A = this chain, B = another copy of it.
Amino acid sequence: MSQKTPAPDFSNWSCPLPLADYPTIVMGHGGGGKLGNELVEHLFLPAFRNTALENLGDAAVLELPFDGKASRIAMSTDSFVVQPLFFPGGNIGELAVNGTVNDLAVSGAIPRYLTAGFILEEGFPLAQLAAIVQAMAAAARTAGVQIVTGDTKVVERGHGDGVYISTAGVGLVREGLSVGPHRAQPGDVVLVSGSIGDHGMAIMSLREGLEFESQIRSDCAALNGLIGDVLTAVGPAVHAMRDPTRGGLASTLNEIAASSGVGVQIEEALLPVHSEVQAACELLGLDPVYVANEGKVVLFVAPEAADRALDVLRAHPLGREAARIGQVTAEHPRMLVARTMLGANRVIPTQIGEQLPRIC
């Protein structure tokens, strides 16, 4: 037998993705929208099928048997491909640490340990790598986590983009919580911990060369301290939490509405949006509700605890601009509806694909 090229034969393969016009990856598969969701639902889930994965939380909650008793940990991962690597308010390294810390935190876990995998491009300046690594170390210290193991691969010049980083994290699950994207209930108040759209518009303004009176800075931050304060104060009253990254606030609220089978009603007038972010969005024809955040959390809180939760958020440096933006309704289940400044209602759907590529 002679050596054969082992490229498998895919000629009879039938694409299971309903939205795929042609059976290849498009930029939209990396967005926070429907294309990305269907990749998960029709390709990853059927293959990997297990309870932890099927919950589709930001982190998986897992059991480990210690002393004959099941102890629970949370586990999460994210890969980062943002361009440019350095931006106002942060760089890819801080994003990689905070992104995984936040995925654990919004699942109600206490982040503890992170891993970091680097895919480096031949020719990438070591000075930039060192700056990114220093930023990761500082972000880890701020978040109170340790980066305990890692891996480095190098690809030829022209592949990759300087550096891609994948982080994974493990956290301790807080017991006594009932938080999850499927637990929002009619009556819940929707809170956001601060202004929306900053991260995405910091990146886009940079790419587009937009100039404003004041610079738009990424909100990249670790949310575990802020979330810890809220959980300490009103723990069991928090029904759902998520950090609205790719796809922005709109995708996050739609996901929770769908998971919980409820309607979400927000007030556009109540959304905290910085004026320069609003201006940049208008220039580029974007809606801030679809723009990525990297240091914000959305909380669904039982009504009797909402004021207290808002006070706690505002008392934290990362939550000073926290706002009540809407509530959960039994009406229009699985839909996100916004009352506009003019008093009309409009449905805010999940987008199909990627409005802003390579944002994280």
> Which A residues form the contact surface with B (CB < 8 A)?
1-8, 10, 13, 15-17, 20, 23-31, 36, 39-40, 43-44, 47-50, 52-53, 57, 59-60, 62, 64-67, 69, 71, 73, 75-81, 84, 86-88, 112-113, 115-131, 133-134, 136-137, 140, 146-156, 158-161, 164, 166, 168, 170, 172, 205-206, 209-216, 354, 357-358, 360
Contact = CB atoms under 8 A, between A and B. Distances in A.
A240 to B, nearest CB: 18
A10 B131 CA distance: 9
Contact of A120 (B7, B13, B30, B360): B30
Contacts of A358: 155-156
Contact of A77 (B5, B149, B216): B149
B126 A24 contact: yes
The 10 A-B residue pairs whose C-beta atoms are closest, nearest first, are: A30-B154, A168-B168, A166-B166, A77-B115, A10-B127, A60-B148, A79-B117, A13-B127, A52-B148, A47-B137
Contact of A170 (B2, B36, B170, B212): B170
9 contacts: A24-B124, A31-B154, A52-B149, A53-B146, A64-B112, A77-B168, A79-B117, A81-B119, A156-B358
Contacts of A52: 113, 146, 148-149
Nearest to A61: B148
A12 to B, nearest CB: 9
Given A30-B120, A50-B147, A164-B164, A7 B126 contact: no
B53 A147 contact: yes
A158 B155 CA distance: 13
Contact of A166 (B8, B40, B69, B79): B79
B30 A153 contact: yes
Given A127-B15, A152-B29, A357-B156, A212 B3 contact: yes
A75 B40 CA distance: 25
A23 B126 contact: yes
A214 B1 contact: yes
Given A5-B206, A43-B133, A154 B357 contact: yes
Residue of A24, A26, A49 with highest tally of chain B CB at under 10 A: A24
Contacts of A2: 211-212, 215
